[in-house]
Amino acid sequence: MKLSTELLILGGGATGLGAAWDAALRGFKTVVLEKGDLAHGTSGRYHGLLHSGGRYVVRDPQSARECAAENAALRRIIPSAIEDTGGYFLSTPADPADYADQFLAACHTCAVPVTEITTAQALQREPLLNPRLGRVFQVRDAACDSFDALHLLAHGLRAAGGEVFLRHRVTEILKSGDRVVGVAGENLATGEPFTFHADLVLNCSGAWAGHIAALAGCEVKVTAGKGVMIAMNSRLVNTVVNRLKPPADGDILVPVGTVSVIGTTDTAVPSPDQYAIEDWEVDLLMGEGEQLIPGFSRHRALRAWAGVRPLYDPGGKDTRHMSRAHALLDHEERDGVSGMLSMVGGKFTTFRHMAQLLVDAACAKLKTDRPCVTARTLIEPPGTPLHALPKRLEALESGKWQTASDATTDTGQPPTASHQQPAATICECELVTRSQIETNLRQSGSPILNDLRRDLRLGMGPCQAGFCAYRAAGIIHETLGHSHRNSNSQLLQFLQERWKGERPVMWGHSLRSLELDLHIYRSILGLDTLPTEREIEVYPTERTS
Ligand SMILES: Cc1cc2nc3c(=O)[nH]c(=O)nc-3n(C[C@H](O)[C@H](O)[C@H](O)COP(=O)(O)OP(=O)(O)OC[C@H]3O[C@@H](n4cnc5c(N)ncnc54)[C@H](O)[C@@H]3O)c2cc1C
């Protein structure tokens, strides 16, 4: 495949899709290349917090100001991906008492809206919190579902005429002399090579930005800062809860959908593709959770996962203290290589602002003046509700998702009056129906079972795919006509991915649930004996914590 475009954006995370949407709205012919699925990188593995700015007011006022402004902007443009939980900064007996005054003064300096409330008010809203609270401040934190946000951006991009190519890995930067003129790579779904020529290449590949820059002969030192998070099985709080102290490990609890997520740790890893969840990280997070909610570790931990921060702070030493700020790199000025700009660092919360700066710089390079309109452009959600369970339940109960195939699955008979049949629910925990899966498979260019997890939240709920993975694999097999071996391989990969996250928190309820899953898949369905396209490890063999 050989194509050409005006702006070619590398990376389908928040930064890349944000920049692509912005550029397409300014009238540029825009293409995004992503080696995985949407939200395949750090954007799909973050803590879920739309920062109010409070976390950064004392140490990083610039980031605090940007977060406060972007918090307001994202609420305007992608409201359907945001749950307005509000946030608390509160001091537990383990936190320094003198930080509160410093925090309050810094919030005022950085224009981060803040109100002090009484501990009684906080405990009334959040009864599980530590009753020995000191001072409590209310801020405008919120929860943001990054899968929904990125789908909205891709939707907005396509509506503005742009394109996203998934599973397209860039392996080469094409140059003419010292000018970048395009990229080459491989379509991972088909194995075919591709070439894209472009007026300008924008490197938005997050923690991989150094690898992409190196392909163009430029040195960009991005540090991969790993952070581990644990999802607890229920919403222990309905408000984002931050400890009132300088940023540290395990000091934030975020309610995300049906779960609450404690995080994070922060350690440098040699590569964004190679990292493990260590036992000490799990112990630390569970221990810090006790400070916020006494008895925290007796609640069920559902799974653990990690992401890598793209940190750009050439002078920085340890990752916890490295700046979270973003940097726009003009490779012509910096390295004598024209035709390419890189945007590195930053936060999910500030992606829109980073995208604006990057596309402003692209306009300057291409000698055109086109104003940014993203701060006030609402992206209307597509027809189906996104991930929020109440919206899904509403759609299900109102019969909006009834389709002929849903009815067929429920009754085993062809539909006579399909509009009267309930929709077939394939994943009960996250309310994913057969028709949603079929629509997703039809719309996706190169669908695989693992995409249904990111796209629809299939298998993300309390049973961790115990009952839905084999059903969905069957639907993929029927719908797409993949070979049995291919379908089996996809099922095994999907389960492997689920078990990888369960393994670090395998005790109590989680262990019992995993045992049940193993019995379903190994004893009943004979997972160990399925013929596959290649050898895949089918159940955990590593040491568990
Ligand atoms: C543990 C943790 C918790 C966090 N919590 C928060 C939070 O609560 N709030 C917040 O605002 N921020 C948070 N962040 C920061 C935030 O998640 C990141 O700053 C942001 O998601 C980075 O987005 P990105 O688009 O730059 O990178 P990514 O999302 O990683 O996107 C880069 C993309 O480039 C693709 N790519 C790489 N190489 C190639 C190639 N050769 N060819 C094609 N594609 C390629 C990757 O597959 C990837 O999808 C957190 C980060 C971590 C690690």
Task: Locate the domains of the chain by residue range.
Answer: 2-42+147-221+324-376, 82-143+223-311, 389-529
Q: Is 264 in the pocket of ligand 1 (CB under 6 A)?
A: yes
| Same topology between domain 2-42+147-221+324-376 and domain 82-143+223-311 | no
Q: Is 36 in the pocket of ligand 1 (CB under 6 A)?
A: yes
Q: Which atom of ligand 1 is nearest to the CA of 33?
A: 43
Residue 100 carries which side chain, given as an amino acid letter? A
Q: Is 272 in the pocket of ligand 1 (CB under 6 A)?
A: no
CA–CA separation, 150 vs 133, rounded Å? 37
**CB 219, CB 213: distance < 8 Å:** yes
| CATH, range 82-143+223-311 | 3.30.9.10
Q: What is the pTM of this model?
A: 0.92
The CATH number for 2-42+147-221+324-376, chosen from 3.30.2130.10, 3.40.640.10, 3.50.50.60, 1.10.3720.10, is: 3.50.50.60
Q: How many residues does the chain have?
A: 545
Query: What does DSSP say about strands 87-90 and 240-243: parallel, antiparallel, or unpaired?
Result: parallel
| pLDDT of res. 539 | 47
Residue identified by tokens 């950064």 is: 56
First and final C-alpha spacing in the chain? 47
| pLDDT of res. 344 | 96
CA–CA separation, 129 vs 142, rounded Å? 18
- What torsion, rounded to 10 degrees, do the Cα atoms 122, 127, 132, 135 define? -10
CA triple 195-197-199, angle to 5 deg: 160
Q: Is 501 in the pocket of ligand 1 (CB under 6 A)?
A: no
Q: Six-digit token pair at 184?
A: 């080459």
**CB 233, CB 505: distance < 8 Å:** no
Of 40, 46, 265, 342, best ligand 1 pocket probe by most atoms within 8 Å of the beta carbon: 46
| pLDDT of res. 327 | 95
**What is the distance in A from the centroid of ligand 1 to the CA of 40?**
8
Q: Is 309 in the pocket of ligand 1 (CB under 6 A)?
A: yes
In tens digits, what is the pLDDT along the chain, a chain of 545 residues? Answer: 789 999 999 999 999 999 999 999 999 999 999 999 899 999 999 999 999 999 999 999 999 999 999 999 999 999 999 999 999 999 999 999 999 999 999 999 999 999 999 999 999 999 999 999 999 999 999 999 999 999 999 999 999 999 999 999 999 999 999 999 999 999 998 899 999 999 999 999 999 999 999 999 999 999 999 999 999 999 999 999 999 999 999 999 999 988 999 999 999 999 999 999 999 999 999 999 999 999 999 999 999 999 999 999 877 777 777 778 899 999 999 999 999 999 999 999 999 999 999 999 999 999 999 999 999 999 988 766 677 788 888 888 887 665 444 433 334 444 444 444 567 899 999 999 998 898 888 877 667 888 898 889 999 988 899 999 999 999 988 888 888 888 888 899 999 889 899 999 999 988 998 899 999 998 999 988 888 876 555 444 443 33
Q: Is 208 in the pocket of ligand 1 (CB under 6 A)?
A: yes
CA triple 334-339-341, angle to 5 deg: 55
Cα–Cα nearest to 461, from 428, 505, 507: 428
Q: Is 14 in the pocket of ligand 1 (CB under 6 A)?
A: yes
